[in-house]
Copies of this chain bind each other. A is one copy, B any other.
Amino acid sequence: MLLPLGGAGEIGMNFNAYGFGPPDERKWIVVDCGVLFGRETETPGVDIIMPDIRWLAEQREDVLAIVLTHAHEDHIGAVGHLWPELQCPLYATPFTARLIEDKLFEAGITERVRVNIVPLHGHLNLGPFSIDFLSITHSILEPNALAIRTPLGTVVHTGDWKIDPEPLLGEKTEINALRKIGDEGALALVCDSTNALVQGHSGSEADVRTALTDLIGTLKGRVAVTGFASNVARLDTIAKAARTHGREVALVGRSMHRITKAARDTGYIEDFPRLVSEEEAAQLPPDRILYLCTGSQGEPRAALSRIAAGDHPTVSLGPGDSVIFSSRIIPGNEIGIHALHNKLAALGVEVLTVEDHFVHVSGHPARDELAEMYRWVRPQIAVPVHGELRHLAEHARLAKSLQVPQAVVIQNGQMLRLAPGRAEIVDEVPAGRMFLDGRIRVHEGEGFARTRRALGFAGLVAVTLVLDQRGRLAADPAILFEGIPDAVHPPVREAVAETTRRYNPRSGKEQDLAENVRRAARRAAADVWGKKPITRVELART
């Protein structure tokens, strides 16, 4: 049984539950527990979105474990928030485990939960599930696919992956192990769909190393490179390219320090060039320094945005300097990133991106790689996950074209029976999104972000009517306008005054008064403005 509660409908908040056994004695394991990042347009004021797992939490006695495939936020970011609802053991490989510990620390639950470390190529028995960790390649250290064996067959859960023949750091893809599972006969392939719309092959980190090293060699002045801190192979590439061209490397931004420390703690990048501090870097000639910065997505509080705004404490860039964006634009971040490019251009800094230079490759499989994976595993059933519906649909179409007998598109909350018999959706459980709104977790259905989006569109008129004990108006109405052009205020004031003048206190219909005032105010605003503000009327009683 496969039950995705996140990731089947969005690229992010991956959360998949696998169940085995008849309903009354079914045991579950969870694969990945990630977040999705909120967007100002759809979810203003919400930084982090995670799956609603209440259905699974109700049977937490039967949830044996959470297994994490790799350390990206969309796979581990919700562990600190959701572990208390499941309270089961965690399993991950060393580098991933190291970063999960940070999550548990932030959530203040380090004492309550232990992360069980699984070695690379390791094995795990959890009730009816026998799990092999298969090394694969992606854009982070220690990505794993899982071969989940049950008495009814073997499911290969890919996690995030690509085929990188030269990942530079860490293991290569265990192609032979995947082929062997195919030879034995695989029941299902539950597979990354992120780039199912992309033709060709994602390319290799080794190719980026060559191109980036050459590019950095052509630059004069200060060089700053920004990218995803979690791509340690890329950081290693950039640091070594700097040294090749006689530049010292300084890390700028918290994630850069955090990730490189985790990589070093777990035995990676032992030959990483010696770093200089931001302060030391500031003393060096411009052509002797390279900054490795956070902020490739235009995040306003990250290092690069602060540098571009001229308010970074130690790093400043100007004419003759260059910034390389060794990253892609995550959809939805275009405007923020372009604004950052514009700010850098205003400083006279040259901006180099993947649009005009070969400075990035994706970590997800393009169609040729998906086809290769299907040739290795040859599953009976293809289940696309990790994608929006358009990616899942196209991935399923591709799988069918590759002769996979069944390709099933499912969405969060749909329970798919993989065996016995044909794959079939047999149930649908509550699913959805939880928002971390500031520090408070709310269900998307509670609508606070939606209300704020409406406030963003047309602002608010709040009227307070003061009534005395006999229901008479005891003061002039207090009217508050927020986010509404001045020209709208007088007609609204007039409408409120007119409506209250017509009120007969002896009628006793105070709620009618409130509703009439609300409607009159809203209508008056709409008449002059063409938009209807949120309009609220409160009663105060003396």
Contact = CB atoms under 8 A, between A and B. Distances in A.
B440 A487 contact: yes
A528 interface: yes
A205 B468 CA distance: 73
Contacts of A388: 338, 341-342, 345
Contacts of A476: 540-541
A476 B541 CA distance: 7
Interface stretch (A40-48, A121-129, A256-264, A424-432): A40-48
A351 interface: yes
A478 B452 CA distance: 21
A477 B343 CA distance: 46
Interface string A378-399: 0000000000111011100100
A485 interface: yes
A488 interface: yes
A538 B439 contact: no
B452 A457 contact: yes
A466 B478 CA distance: 9
Nearest to A396: B345
Could you say which interface size class chain A belongs to? Answer: 35 or more
Interface stretch (A83-91, A177-185, A529-537): A529-537
Contacts of A437: 485, 529, 531
Interface stretch (A233-241, A327-335, A498-506): A327-335
B345 A484 contact: no
B480 A462 contact: yes
A402 interface: no
A477 B466 CA distance: 10
Contact of A390 (B41, B334, B351, B482): B351
Nearest to A468: B542
A199 B478 contact: no
Contacts of A466: 466, 474-475, 540, 542
A459 B464 contact: no
A290 to B, nearest CB: 22
Contact of A197 (B197, B355, B460): B355
Interface of A: 9, 39-42, 44-45, 197-199, 331-332, 334-335, 338, 341-346, 350-351, 355-356, 388-390, 392-394, 397, 437-440, 442, 446, 448-449, 451-453, 455-460, 462, 464, 466, 468, 474-480, 482-488, 528-531, 534, 536, 538-542
29 contacts: A40-B456, A41-B335, A42-B335, A45-B531, A331-B334, A331-B335, A332-B335, A345-B394, A437-B529, A440-B488, A440-B528, A440-B530, A446-B485, A446-B486, A448-B485, A451-B459, A451-B482, A452-B455, A460-B462, A460-B482, A462-B480, A464-B464, A464-B478, A464-B538, A466-B540, A476-B540, A478-B539, A480-B538, A540-B540
Given A344-B390, A455-B482, 18 more contacts: A9-B342, A41-B41, A42-B335, A45-B458, A334-B334, A345-B393, A346-B389, A350-B397, A438-B458, A440-B529, A448-B459, A449-B483, A451-B483, A452-B459, A460-B462, A462-B482, A464-B480, A475-B540
